[in-house]
Amino acid sequence: MTQHFIVIGNPIAHSKSPSIHHAFAQQAGLAIRYARQYCPDDAESFRAVVDAFFNGGGIGANVTVPFKQIAYEYCLEDGALSDHARVAGAVNTLAQRDGKLYGDNTDGQGLVNDMQHQGWILKDKTVAIIGAGGAARGTILPLIQAGIKSLTLANRTVSKAETLVKALGEQSATVAHCPIDTCATDALTGHFDIIINATSIGLSGERLPLSEHLTCAHAYDMMYGRELPFLTHFADSGAKTSDGYGMLIGQAALSFALWTGADIDVTAARAQLT
């Protein structure tokens, strides 16, 4: 029997999720239909789309911009949340458990899995994240669970980074026990083992206001699909770099496993997709 899945977003036509999940299904020997679902940008419309999908027999839904926080609020009010979703304050994966909506956040876990797949060591490493929005928020708990030594959160508006760190510390004892510093983006200096760009600024071709005294061994941009100035900047100084395409596949594999129980070979799937 064919299982039905969707990804909900606005815009959504560009999404690569259908091709990724159909590759997973082929690997797992499952019959699925995975479709893009456009939704007007408001909470009422989002809830209507989700309800119609699951009431019609849908198995699982991914959630992308701008609905991740709306999905979180919906699950908080009328369903259940994973620990990762609760700490992130955002949901990218929806399912049903015991007749109730269940929300998870696989973004940060996908990021960590991709880094580890590439051989990047996270345990006892110094990490900096640029950005204090939803993308950054979703990565902090998985990074800390992976054993990083310390974290610095840099953002153009320092107060936003400070508010985020305080909120995460209140929600998770794991987060509270990791040293986390905050600073302005242009004040981020020194050497880090890993620097992560969790902003979308690179998609417009703009450059972050990075200090000339900032260096790293590894640089990761969560965006993908084009040349990214952030990665070019650090590659020029000898750092190993990666865009976020592997994270996209990694978070999708975790969603697929939640829905179907299938353990996906991400390496084989990526080879098939590229």
Active site residues: 68
- Rounded to the nearest 10°, the torsion over CA 53, 59, 64, 68 is 80
Q: Determine which helix (DSSP H) or strand (DSSP E) holds 181, and give its type and residue range.
A: strand 180-183
Q: Which pair of tokens denotes residue 31?
A: 């019959």
Of 117, 124, 121, 127, nearest to 154 by C-alpha is: 127
Tell me the H-state helices in the chain.
17-28, 43-55, 68-78, 83-88, 107-117, 134-145, 158-171, 173-176, 229-235, 245-260, 266-273
What one-letter code names the amino acid at 266?
A: V
How many other CB atoms are found less than 10 A from the CB of residue 71?
A: 29
Structure tokens at 237: 């100084």
